[in-house]
């Protein structure tokens, strides 16, 4: 059986005054049904650009999907005519974002925004749509949903708004939920509630989740597979339990160490320097300027992704030398 989502050789470029920025370069991955796959990276890694391109949500003009295929259930989303793509968005694929205040319309009630999705994709209207909206809000644990449907986004807390977005995203029981930093703006106690809810709904609907995050601890507790991006490229991918305990790419290892304290609790292990500017990408491995293991060949040629163990790939010439 093929995977639910298959991304192959995706490249996304931005035309800027200072030249072409290769935000995502040659990215391939798959998401199986019922699985949570995390796409992790820091600012500028290309994780959100990649997620948005899957549904062609990036503004046309400045950005260009330069290459690649995105297959959902065998259909190539990048080749679909706009009308059919609209049927996929919201129906087969739901999406939630970091800032629900930006994604919700401030001048419409919560009920109306949920009903819009129900009308577009399921043809529900009037009392039927309202009843379904209330049911959805109850499912995402919004208290007093009968009253909430008459309220506006500004009447709700951040956690409640994120639940409303989930209600909209899940209205059509999508096969895939794309969650772009869904809990980054939330307090940790509310984050725990929202992550638990995503997990429950995933089990209940048999849904797959593509989780975009910068937080490796969230990955540990929610995902089965993880893809680490650096400067637009995949540098490592594998099962969460392995990647976060025995990473094989120096960047992944550095990220993990940067959040852990030395045995004496005195210092954090830094990754020196910063992510290279997209206008001045180094030749060879993009991580080489910050890497303690970098040698001449790393600065000359980009290391290819290699399979180290079944299901575990890393793009590093010296992957075998990285201490487990």
Question: Is residue 34 a contact partner of residue 208, using CB atoms and an 8 Å limit?
Answer: yes
Residues 6+ apart with CB under 8 A from 81: none
Q: Does 291 bind other proteins (CB under 8 A)?
A: no
| Cα–Cα distance, 215 to 41 (Å, whole number) | 8
Annotate each residue in 35-54 with x if it binds other proteins (CB under 8 A) or - if it does not, as one string: -------xx-----------
Q: Does 323 bind other proteins (CB under 8 A)?
A: no
Q: Does 18 bind other proteins (CB under 8 A)?
A: no
Q: Does 271 bind other proteins (CB under 8 A)?
A: yes
Select from 87-95, 106-114, 118-126, 190-198 the region that touches other proteins (CB under 8 A).
190-198
Q: Does 258 bind other proteins (CB under 8 A)?
A: yes
| Cα–Cα distance, 180 to 52 (Å, whole number) | 9
Nearer to other proteins, 108 or 261 (CB): 261
Nearer to other proteins, 171 or 194 (CB): 194
Q: For 271, phi and psi rounded to 5 degrees?
A: -100, 115
Q: Does 100 bind other proteins (CB under 8 A)?
A: no
Nearer to other proteins, 266 or 296 (CB): 266
Question: Is residue 218 a contact partner of residue 195, using CB atoms and an 8 Å limit?
Answer: yes
Q: Does 218 bind other proteins (CB under 8 A)?
A: yes
| Cα–Cα distance, 299 to 281 (Å, whole number) | 11
Nearer to other proteins, 20 or 268 (CB): 268
168 alpha carbon, distance to own chain's centre: 18
- Residue in 265, 304, 310, 324 binding other proteins, rule: CB under 8 A: 265
Residues 6+ apart with CB under 8 A from 147: none
Residue 145: Cβ within 10 Å count? 20
Q: Does 32 bind other proteins (CB under 8 A)?
A: no
Question: Is residue 172 a contact partner of residue 121, using CB atoms and an 8 Å limit?
Answer: yes
User: What does the binding site for other proteins look like in residue numbers (CB under 8 A)?
Assistant: 42-43, 143, 157-160, 187-193, 195-196, 199, 214-218, 220-222, 241, 244-245, 254-256, 258-259, 261, 265-272, 274-275
């Amino acid at each position: 059986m093929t995977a639910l989502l298959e991304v192959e050789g995706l490249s996304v470029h931005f035309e800027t005054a200072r030249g072409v920025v290769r935000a995502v370069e040659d990215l391939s991955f798959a998401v199986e049904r019922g699985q949570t796959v995390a796409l992790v990276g820091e600012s500028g890694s290309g994780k959100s650009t990649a997620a948005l391109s899957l549904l062609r949500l990036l503004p046309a003009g400045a950005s260009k999907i330069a290459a690649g295929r995105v297959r959902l259930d065998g259909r190539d989303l990048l080749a679909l005519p706009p009308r059919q793509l609209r049927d996929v968005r919201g129906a087969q694929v739901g999406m939630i974002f970091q800032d629900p205040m930006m994604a919700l319309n401030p001048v419409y009630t919560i009920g109306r925004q949920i009903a819009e999705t129900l009308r577009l994709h399921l043809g529900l209207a009037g009392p039927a749509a309202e009843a379904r909206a209330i049911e959805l809000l109850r499912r995402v644990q919004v208290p007093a949903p009968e009253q909430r449907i008459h309220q506006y986004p500004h009447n709700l807390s951040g956690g409640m708004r994120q639940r409303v977005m989930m209600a909209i995203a899940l209205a059509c029981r999508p096969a895939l939920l794309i969650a772009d930093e869904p809990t980054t703006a939330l307090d940790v106690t509310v984050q725990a509630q929202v992550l638990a809810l995503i997990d429950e709904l995933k089990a209940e609907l048999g849904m797959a989740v593509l989780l975009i995050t910068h937080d490796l601890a969230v990955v540990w507790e929610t995902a089965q597979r993880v893809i680490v991006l650096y400067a637009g490229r995949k540098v490592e991918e594998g099962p969460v339990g392995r990647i976060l305990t025995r990473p094989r790419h120096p960047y992944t290892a550095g990220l993990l160490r940067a959040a852990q304290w030395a045995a004496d609790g005195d210092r954090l292990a830094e990754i020196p320097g910063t992510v290279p500017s997209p206008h001045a990408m180094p030749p060879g491995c993009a991580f080489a300027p910050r890497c303690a293991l970098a040698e001449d060949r790393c600065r000359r040629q980009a290391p290819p992704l290699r399979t180290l163990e079944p299901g575990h790939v890393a793009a590093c010439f010296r992957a075998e030398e990285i201490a487990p």
